[in-house]
């Protein structure tokens, strides 16, 4: 690759690499220069502006000076070998890491120009604006209706039953689930198939009118048909929401995302339009990963 020389930099001090490496088969002579992301990490229409972000678990640094913009109403995919920090970085975007006591976040993280980590920020309100869908569908052991109504109720979004009914229906429609469940809204959500449960979790996340939906490997527990439905849904949702999806499936990243960010051992190695990352990666680590040499 023509950019190979410029991307191989001097050794980073080893104390900074104390997090146990998982990408064991990383080319031995490749060193990543801290904070130097190749490609186009910045965007004009940033929903999130993230600068020099570092995340520590106790003494160990899991995220190493990452700077990135996440553009409004786009789908951004985070890819990279297991343990490279994708989930850790994703959880910074709505302060999900707050619940991990040893976890410390440094740097500047802004949502619409406002500091996400401002001590005066209302974290409950932040998580309503920046919703999250997890790897394993986690519906509450309640009715389908009550799962979707849960957020609107606690946030006081509906005063009358009719308003709540409307929010529940619209959210289920947007999640592509309404036709399948409209006759059994009082049935327990735990009796649904895995794919339906995951779409219910998406309906639950969008019921509070979020601006952003974070998804951490949302299809890894689903079969191919359920996966295809969720991917279709992601494409539709991206017209109204900013979406960040962690995926270990490169095919999925290629299908659903506009931009892709490649992480490696806590570094953000490369960011670009998704088709560029997959057809002409600039960094040799990105190329090794997408051609299946490790991961
Ligand atoms: N709760 C935690 N406590 C301590 N270390 C953690 C915790 N969560 C993740 N880590 C470490 O942080 C690094 C990044 O993990 P993670 O963000 O889960 O990676 P990925 O999502 O890319 O697989 C790994 O070395 C992992 O062991
Ligand atoms: Mg993860």
Q: Indicate the Cα dihedral angle 13, 17, 21, 24, nearest 10°.
A: -10
Average pLDDT for residues 268-290, to the nearest whole number?
Answer: 97
User: What does DSSP assign to residue 129?
Assistant: H
Residue 26 lies in a domain: no
Q: What is d(CA 72, CA 211) in angstroms, rounded to the nearest whole number? A: 9
Residues 111-148 pLDDT 10s: 999 999 999 999 999 999 999 999 999 999 999 999 99
- CB of residue 132 inside a 6 A radius of ligand 1: no
Q: Does the beta carbon of 20 lie inside 6 Å of ligand 1? A: yes
Q: Is residue 210 part of a domain?
A: yes
Q: Has residue 4 got a pLDDT over 90?
A: no
267 CB less than 6 Å from ligand 1?
no
**Is position 20 within any domain?**
no
Question: What does the CA dihedral 43, 240, 249, 105 come to, rounded to 10 degrees?
Answer: 60
Q: Is residue 13 part of a domain?
A: no
Sheet (strand 242-246) strand order:
38-39, 267-273, 259-264, 75-79, 242-246, 212-216, 130-133
Q: Whose CA is nearest to atom 20 of ligand 1?
A: 83
Please indicate, yes or no, if residue 19 is contained in any of the structural domains: no
Ligand 1 contact via 140 beta carbon (within 6 Å)? no
Task: Tell whether ligand 1 has an atom less than 6 A from the beta carbon of residue 21.
Answer: no
For residues 74-82, average pLDDT: 97
- What gap in Å lies between CA 150 and CA 249, rounded to an integer? 31
Question: Is position 185 within any domain?
Answer: yes
Cβ of 19 less than 6 Å from ligand 1: yes
Q: Which domain holds residue 238?
A: 42-290
Q: Does residue 125 fall inside a structural domain?
A: yes
Task: Using pLDDT thresholds of 50, 70 and 90, give the confidence band for residue 273.
Answer: very high
Q: 188 C-alpha vs ligand 1 centroid, how far in Å? A: 33
Cβ(83) – ligand 1 distance below 6 Å: yes
Task: Tell whether the model's pLDDT for residue 21 goes beyond 50.
Answer: no
Mean pLDDT value of segment 243-262: 96
pTM: 0.89
In the predicted model, what is the mean pLDDT of residues 144-154? Answer: 97
Give the distance, in angstroms, between the CA of residue 90 and the centroid of all CA atoms in the same chain: 5
Ligand 1 atom with the shortest distance to the CA of 80: 22
Per the domain annotation, does 159 fall within a domain?
yes
Q: 19, 85, 263: which to mutate for ligand 1, most atoms within 8 A of CB? A: 85
In this model, does residue 71 exceed pLDDT 70? yes
Reported as a single tens digit per residue, the pLDDT across 165-190 is 999 999 999 999 999 999 999 999 99
For ligand 1, what atom is nearest to the CA of residue 81? 22
Q: Quote the CA–CA distance of 239 and 14 in Å, as a whole number.
A: 43
DSSP of 245-288: EE-S-HHHHHHH-SEEEEEETTEEEEEEEHHHHHHS-SSHHHHH
> Which of left, alpha, beta for 242 (phi over 0: left; psi -120 to 50: alpha)?
beta
Name beta bridge partners: 33: none
Distance between Cα 182 and ligand 2 center (Å): 34
The pLDDT value recorded for residue 195 is: 95
Question: How much is the pLDDT for 7?
Answer: 33
CATH number at residue 69: 3.40.50.300
207 lines ligand 1 (CB under 6 A): no
DSSP helix/strand/coil, 6:
helix
Res. 278: pLDDT tops 50:
yes
29-62 pLDDT, tens digit each:
677 888 899 999 999 999 999 999 999 999 999 9
pLDDT at 27: 58
Mean pLDDT of 238-262: 96
For the cut 50, the answer to whether the pLDDT of residue 3 exceeds it is no
Assess whether pLDDT exceeds 60 at residue 6.
no
Average pLDDT (283-291) is 95
Number of domains in the chain: 1
């Amino acid at each position: 690759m023509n950019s190979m020389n410029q991307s191989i930099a001097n050794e980073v001090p080893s104390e900074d690499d104390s997090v146990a490496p998982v990408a064991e088969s990383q080319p031995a002579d490749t060193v990543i220069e801290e904070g130097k992301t190749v490609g186009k990490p910045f965007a004009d229409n940033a929903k999130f502006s993230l600068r020099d972000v570092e995340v520590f678990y106790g003494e160990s640094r899991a995220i190493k000076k990452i700077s990135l913009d996440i553009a409004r109403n786009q789908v951004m995919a985070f890819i990279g070998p297991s343990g490279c920090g994708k989930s850790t970085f994703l959880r910074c975007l709505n302060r999900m890491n707050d619940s991990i006591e040893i976890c410390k976040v440094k740097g500047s993280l802004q949502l619409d120009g406002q500091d996400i980590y401002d001590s005066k920020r209302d974290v409950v309100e932040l998580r309503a604006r920046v919703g999250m869908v997890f790897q394993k569908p986690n519906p509450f052991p309640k009715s389908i209706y009550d799962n979707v109504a849960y957020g609107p109720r606690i946030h006081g979004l509906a005063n009358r039953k009719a308003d709540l009914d409307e929010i529940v229906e619209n959210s289920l429609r947007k999640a592509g689930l309404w036709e399948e469940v409209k006759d059994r809204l009082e049935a327990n959500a735990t009796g649904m198939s895995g794919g339906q449960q995951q779409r219910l979790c998406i309906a639950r996340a969008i019921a509070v009118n979020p601006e952003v939906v974070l998804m951490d490997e949302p299809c890894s527990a689903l079969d191919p048909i359920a996966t295809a439905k969720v991917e279709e849904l992601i494409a539709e949702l991206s017209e109204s929401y900013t979406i960040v999806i962690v995926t270990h499936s490169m095919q999925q990243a290629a299908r659903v995302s506009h931009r892709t960010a490649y992480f490696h051992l806590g570094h953000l190695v490369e960011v670009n339009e998704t088709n560029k990352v997959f057809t002409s990666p600039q960094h040799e680590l990105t190329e090794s990963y997408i051609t299946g040499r490790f991961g």
